[in-house]
Amino acid sequence: MDFIYAQKLEEALNALRTQAGRAKVLAGGTDLMIQIARGEKQPQALIFIGQLKDDLAAVSLSQDGHLNIGALVTHRQICADRQVQASYPALATASASVGGWQTQSVGTLAGNICNASPAADTIPPLLVHEAVVTIQSAARGLRDVSLEYFITGRRQIAIENDEMVVGITLAPLPADTADAYLKVGRRKAMEVAIAGLAMRLTMAGPEIVGELRVATCATGPVSRRAREVEALFSGQKLTDELVTQGASLLGRMIQPIDDTRASAQYRKLVIPKLFRGAVLECLAKLGIAISGLEKS
Amino acid sequence: MKINLKVNGILEEVEIEASTVLLDVLRDKLHLTGAKEGCREGECGACTVLIDGQPVDSCLYSAAAAANTEIETVEGISANGLSAIQKAMVEEGGIQCGFCTPGIVMTLTALLRQNADPTPKDVAAALNGNICRCTGYSRIVSATLKAAKNAMAQKAGDAHA
C-alpha cells in the first residue's frame, strides 16, 4: 500500500484520478483505519488530506447565509462552533455523541457521511436540514448533490472513483424553526445509536405547523426522511392526537433489524417515543406551549 | 516507507507500512509502552496520546498521518517526575489495576490545558472515551479537580511573589 501526502487539493484530486479506484481518501481515519485492519477495505493507496487544512478545515458563513463545512472539519469543531450551535443545534448534539473525545478530535463530519453507516448520528440532522454535499474531481470540477441522493445504501455513496467530498452546505433557516436530535443508547457516551431521530419543525402560526421534517438512523439500511409522516403535519393544527398519529405511522414505516444492540421490535417501540420527544423539544426551543400536548 | 515522527519533542525516524497505526510504532519501534493496547478499535481509550494537544486513540490513528505533528505520550509528560495530574491520581487513589491510567492521564492533561477550572461534569465528559473497569471514576474525577485547584493556587501564589 502507498501513502500519498497531498500538499494541495489539486494533488489529492490528481492522485485520485491516477489511482482510478484503487485509493481511499484518509482524513482522521477513525473508520477507515479499523476497516483496513480488519481487511474489510484493501486500498492500494491512501491519499492523506490532513495537511489541506487551509482549504478544507473551516466552518464559514457565505454572504447568502449558507453555512459551509469543509471536509476536514472535525466533530469537535462542529460541537464547539457558535454558528452550528445557534442555527443547527441538532447537528452539534449529534457530533457530540459520535464516540468519545478521541474520536471527535480527528473524526470528520464528511468522513461520517462517506462511511454511510446506518447508525451514523450526524446523518439524520443533516437530512432534515437538506444538507448539500459538494464533490470535486480533477476532470470535472465541482458538483453538488443532496445528501439524500448521496447516500445510496448501507455503507454506499454516490461518488465516482476520481471524486472526493470537499464540503457540506446547510441552507439558512426559515423563521420560527427549531430542530432536535434524540438518540437511544445503553450509555450516554461512546455508544453507537440503538435508534436516533432528528426533527426540524417550522411553525406557520400559533399551533399551526408550516413544515415538519423527520429522519431516523439505525432503523434500516439507510437513514431516510419519512415523507409520509411529514405530509401529515403540513399546514395542520398541532395536536396531541396528530403527534400520536405521526409517531405511530413512523413506527410502522421503519424497517429495523435485530442486532447485538437491540431487537427490531424494541426499535419500533422506541422510535415513536423519540418522535414525540423531538416535537416537544422543538416546541420548547421555540417557546411554544400547546395545551394537551404532553410527554406520553 | 520512512517517516519522521516528533514524539515528546524528539524527532525519530521510523520505517513503517502505510497501514501501520501510531500505537504500534510507539510500542514496538520506539519502546514507549505507556500507551496500552486495549480494544484496538477506538472504544476504550487505553492507547490515548496527544496529537497537537488533542487526545487521539493511537490504535486507529495512521502513523504516517502523524508525521509533521507534535505527539505526546505519558512518558513525555512525566519526563521530569510525575506531572500534577499524575500526583493527584496517586494521592486520591484514582488508580487500581492501572491499565487505563496512562490513557486517562493523557486525556486529563489535554483537559486541564484547555480548561484550568473544570467542573465534575466537564471531567466526566472529557473521559467519555476512556474506559476504567476498576475505580468507578469518582476518584479520578476528584483527582482532576484537585490537580486543577493546586495549579490555580500555585498560579495565584506565583502572581503574589
On whether the CB atoms of residues B72 and B105 are closer than 8 A, the answer is no
CA–CA gap between residue A197 and residue A277 (Å, rounded): 10
Q: All 3 cell numbers of residue A223?
A: 437513514
DSSP structural state of residue A151: E
The CATH architecture one would assign to domain A177-286 is 2-Layer Sandwich (3.30)
Q: In this complex, which of A30, A76, A189 lies closest to B42 when CB atoms are compared?
A: A30
- Asked whether the predicted pLDDT for residue A295 surpasses 90, the reply is no
Q: In this complex, which of B17, B60, B107 lies closest to A30 when CB atoms are compared?
A: B60
pLDDT at position A193 is 84
Domain extent listing, chain A: 2-115+131-170, 177-286
Give the A:B interface size as CB pairs under 8 Å: 87
> Within this chain, do residues B141 and B121 fall inside the same structural domain, yes or no?
yes
Q: All 3 cell numbers of residue B141?
A: 474525577
Query: Of B62, B77, B92, at which residue does a domain stop?
Result: B77
Please give the residue that has the higher pLDDT: either A160 or B158.
A160
> Within this chain, do residues B34 and B52 fall inside the same structural domain, yes or no?
yes
> Within this chain, do residues B112 and B132 fall inside the same structural domain, yes or no?
yes
ipTM of the complex: 0.96
Asked if B19 reaches chain A (Cβ–Cβ under 8 Å), the answer is yes
pLDDT at position A245 is 98
- Asked whether the predicted pLDDT for residue A190 surpasses 70, the reply is no
pLDDT at position B160 is 80
β-strands A177-184, A151-153 pairing: unpaired
Q: Which residue has the cell 495530574?
A: B85
Edge-to-edge order in the sheet of strand A23-26: A2-5, A45-48, A23-26
> Residue type at B79?
A
Whether B60 sits inside 8 A of A76 (CB atoms) is: no
On whether the CB atoms of residues A66 and B82 are closer than 8 A, the answer is no
β-strands A2-5, A45-48 pairing: parallel
CA–CA gap between residue A11 and residue A47 (Å, rounded): 9
Rounded (10°) CA dihedral B61, B64, B70, B73: 50
Helix, coil or strand: residue A3: strand
Q: What is the mean pLDDT of residues A23-48?
A: 97
Q: What is the mean pLDDT of residues B35-59?
A: 97
> Within this chain, do residues B67 and B111 fall inside the same structural domain, yes or no?
no
Query: Could you read off the pLDDT of A251-273 as tens digits, one per residue?
Result: 999 999 888 888 999 999 999 99
DSSP structural state of residue A117: -
On whether the CB atoms of residues B126 and B67 are closer than 8 A, the answer is no
Contacts of A3 in chain B (CB under 8 A): 1, 18, 62, 64
Residue B100 CA to chain centroid, in angstroms? 10
Residue A142 CA to chain centroid, in angstroms? 21
> Within this chain, do residues B73 and B88 fall inside the same structural domain, yes or no?
no
Whether B107 sits inside 8 A of A101 (CB atoms) is: yes
> Within this chain, do residues B153 and B90 fall inside the same structural domain, yes or no?
yes
Q: All 3 cell numbers of residue A272?
A: 415513536
Burial of B87 (0-12, 13-18, 19+ CB in 10 A): middle
- For residue A96, give the chain B residue with the closest CA: B125
- For residue A44, give the chain B residue with the closest CA: B18
Query: Of B60, B77, B94, at which residue does a domain stop?
Result: B77
Domain that holds residue B147: 84-160
pLDDT at position A261 is 86
Q: What is the CATH number of the domain that holds B95?
A: 1.10.150.120
> Within this chain, do residues B133 and B101 fall inside the same structural domain, yes or no?
yes
> Within this chain, do residues B16 and B70 fall inside the same structural domain, yes or no?
yes
Query: Of B31, B56, B77, at which residue does a domain stop?
Result: B77
> Within this chain, do residues B102 and B73 fall inside the same structural domain, yes or no?
no
On whether the CB atoms of residues A60 and A77 are closer than 8 A, the answer is no
Edge-to-edge order in the sheet of strand A224-225: A177-184, A195-205, A208-217, A224-225
CA atoms within 13 A on the CB side of A108: 26
DSSP structural state of residue B62: B
> Within this chain, do residues B49 and B67 fall inside the same structural domain, yes or no?
yes
Of chain B, the percentage scoring pLDDT greater than 90 comes to: 94
Q: What is the mean pLDDT of residues B83-107?
A: 97
Whether B18 sits inside 8 A of A45 (CB atoms) is: yes
> Within this chain, do residues B44 and B97 fall inside the same structural domain, yes or no?
no
Yes or no: domain A2-115+131-170 corresponds to CATH 3.30.465.10? yes
- Asked whether the predicted pLDDT for residue B122 surpasses 90, the reply is yes
Helix, coil or strand: residue B13: strand
Of chain A, the percentage scoring pLDDT greater than 70 comes to: 98
Query: Could you read off the pLDDT of A112-146 as tens digits, one per residue?
Result: 999 999 999 999 999 999 999 999 999 999 999 99
pLDDT at position A188 is 63
Q: What is the CATH number of the domain that holds B45?
A: 3.10.20.30
Whether A101 sits inside 8 A of B21 (CB atoms) is: no
A25 membership: H or E segment, kind and range: strand A23-26
Query: Could you read off the pLDDT of A211-254 as tens digits, one per residue?
Result: 999 999 999 999 999 999 999 999 999 999 999 999 999 999 99
